[in-house]
Amino acid sequence: MEQEIVEQIKNHNLIFKLDEPLSKYTTLKIGGPARYLVFVRNINELIKILQIAKWYNQKILIIGAGSNLLISDEGFDGIVIKLKNELCKIDLKSQELIAYGGAMLPMVIKTAVDAGLSGLEELFGIPGTVGGAVIMNAGTKIACISDNLEYIEVIKTDEPEDGLIRLNKNEINFDYRTSGLEENYVIVKVVFRLKSSNSEMLKARINEVLLERIKTQPLGTFNAGCIFKNPKHSFFTSAKLIEECGLKGYRVGDAYVSDKHANFIINRQNATAKDFVEIMTHIIKVVKEKFNVELEPEIKLIGLKLDI
């Protein structure tokens, strides 16, 4: 079957790699090989690869910039899809900003700010693609990606032949760090409705936002941002709970709880997904014992389960 899949991929002129280490595509620099890694340059290619996956009953993983992923050391035995070229475009039509799923969020925000359009500036500094941000409903204490989103266009992973489907904001179950769209849809296009504002003011704001991140986060390390969601029914943030348990600096192998921000776990060099699972499990247990609060991962675990 494997040969047949490769033949199909080749017949459709798709760009692909076999057994490619996914550690190259995640900010944690962790992740074993993808059986098939396919780069899709337009909607037709995307539909084609989804059809091939469906026909051969292959598992699918869409990766953005891999800034919120912890992928198993064993890798992913299926088809990993990464959006490229046309699927990374950014367009402006008056106050409407159209970003394709693979566009980098910081570039999208810069485009808005340069055009004097307000609504996304609070999210500056969140790495990743606009597709990943929508799936995660990425955000900060102040704002999230869904705030000024008008509609998205998606392709269903299990019915790619249906083509592009429009979902208006009110049809999507956005909540804290979730969209409810996980695994069932590929985000192809995202349309934001922004407000006219002053470009210089917005530029000043993104600089402030960035400085705040530099002050509080261990940037420049291999990390995936906040590992755990902030608990709904606790007065404290996850970072505060972890810190209060004395876990700053705690390590398993090369996985290390940041001294600067206790909800960041850093891969110091050679950490494995196994190290991360172990350190996350330990943190959850210790916080549960001390505060009776169950931390829930914010990062997406691929092919992994926490031992709780």
Ligand X SMILES: Cc1cc2nc3c(=O)[nH]c(=O)nc-3n(C[C@H](O)[C@H](O)[C@H](O)COP(=O)(O)OP(=O)(O)OC[C@H]3O[C@@H](n4cnc5c(N)ncnc54)[C@H](O)[C@@H]3O)c2cc1C
In the complex with ligand X, the residue whose CB is nearer, 5 or 22, is: 22
Q: Which of 5, 38, 117, 186 binds ligand X (CB under 6 A)?
A: 186
In the complex with ligand X, the residue whose CB is nearer, 102 or 117, is: 102
- Up-side HSE of residue 178: CA atoms within 13 Å toward CB? 12
How far, in Å, CA of 160 to CA of 53, rounded?
10
Say whether residue 69 binds ligand X (CB under 6 A): yes
Say whether residue 128 binds ligand X (CB under 6 A): yes
DSSP 8-state class, residue 23: G
Instruction: Give the interface segment with ligand X, choosing from 7-15, 113-121, 161-169, 180-188 (CB under 6 A).
Output: 180-188
Say whether residue 65 binds ligand X (CB under 6 A): yes
How far, in Å, CA of 181 to CA of 117, rounded?
27
In the complex with ligand X, the residue whose CB is nearer, 95 or 157, is: 157
In the complex with ligand X, the residue whose CB is nearer, 139 or 277, is: 139
Helix/strand/coil for 161: helix
How far, in Å, CA of 42 to CA of 44, rounded?
6
Q: Minimum CB separation from ligand X for residue 245, in Å?
A: 22
Say whether residue 300 binds ligand X (CB under 6 A): yes
Residue tagged 């900003």 (tokens): 97
Say whether residue 182 binds ligand X (CB under 6 A): yes
Strands (E), 122-273: 149-156, 165-168, 185-193, 195-196, 251-252, 255-257, 265-267
Would you tell me which residues interact with ligand X (CB under 6 A)? 27, 61-69, 83, 101, 126-129, 131-133, 135-136, 138-140, 177, 182, 185-187, 217, 219, 223-225, 300
